Amino acid sequence: MKEIALKAKKRDTGKQVSKRIRREGLVPGIFYMNGEAALPFQVNPMDLRPIVYTASKKLISLELEGESPRQCVLKDIKFDPVTDSILHVDFLGLHKDHKVNIQVPVVIKGSSLGQRKGGNLQQVIHTVGIKCLPANLVDAIEVDITNLDLGKSIHFRDLNLEGVEFNMPLDAMICAVNAPRGSQAQA
């Protein structure tokens, strides 16, 4: 998983403080970690771009002024419904010996045998929740479909990711290659 350094400043809490921070062009945020008090911070919205506007998850090294960097992941983000600007971010701190639950994208890699025969690829699941230790975090679940033939499918049970548990039934289908229309009537 790619790591991004993010510099932030501590802030006070409260609605009025958050409004003032937004008027100044900054984004308020909170860093949460099990067993520790929440740390409110403010950050430049441009610094959030490589974290927010991407399909893959990123490991964040949050550098609060005067403190050592903290490893975390983006847990939640709120956007303004009219302007689409970032209103608030929540980061979840990582303990090296505690599992974390996060959502990651499912990315299809390759061109399948079935597609080369004229079949249609259907991707059913585009994101999935995973549970793992920070050392096993992945930015996306990559599914190789090179050997996927007509009428065949790939399920979560077919994937082999060490140390990663899926928050989804293992028999859930990720993708399949369907026969082209009209070919079943001819068979």
Model pLDDT, residue 108: 95
- With a cut of 50, say whether residue 156 has pLDDT above it: yes
What average pLDDT does the segment 111-115 reach? 92
Question: 113 and 87 in one domain?
Answer: no
Per DSSP, helices labelled H in the chain are: 15-23, 45-52, 113-116, 183-186
Number of domains composing the chain: 2
Asked if pLDDT for residue 65 goes beyond 60, the answer is: yes
Same structural domain for residues 182 and 117? yes
Query: Residue 184's pLDDT band (boundaries 50, 70, 90)?
Result: low
Q: In which region does residue 156 sit, left (phi positive, over 0), alpha (psi from -120 to 50) or beta (all else)? A: alpha
Domain encompassing residue 119: 100-186
Q: Strand, helix or coil at 186?
A: helix
Q: What is the CATH number of the domain that holds 12?
A: 2.40.240.10
**Residues 65 and 146 reside in one and the same domain:** no
Which residue, 41, 66, 93, sits at the end of a domain?
A: 93
Give the pLDDT band of residue 115 (cuts 50, 70, 90).
very high
Q: Which of 42, 65, 93 is where one domain is finished?
A: 93
Task: Give me the CATH number covering residue 180.
Answer: 2.170.120.20
